[in-house]
Structure 1
Amino acid sequence: MSTLDICDRIMVIEGGRMTALDAPGALRSDSEFYRNALAVAGIA
């Protein structure tokens, strides 16, 4: 579990644009960018 998991919603910003706004669990399944960011951070 990470600090991100206790958030209600997380905003994903790619290239200066908001591409997603959702709960962490939903982003793990729906956002490739979010999954990649977690992997780079060693959280995934």
Structure 2
Amino acid sequence: MFSLHHHDRDDDREKPQADDNRMGLLLLGVAALCVTVYSAFFFVA
């Protein structure tokens, strides 16, 4: 859906795509951190 909208502008598409990838990685890292902390707390308690 995002690529179809910016399909005719390949140069402009690269920057938002990189930002989306970084945002996804950041979100994934935060989720993993939350899961790790939750598991550690669950095991300790």
TM-score when normalising by structure 1: 0.30
Structure with max Cα Rg: 2
Greater RCO structure (CA 8 Å; 6+ sep): 1
TM-score when normalising by structure 2: 0.30
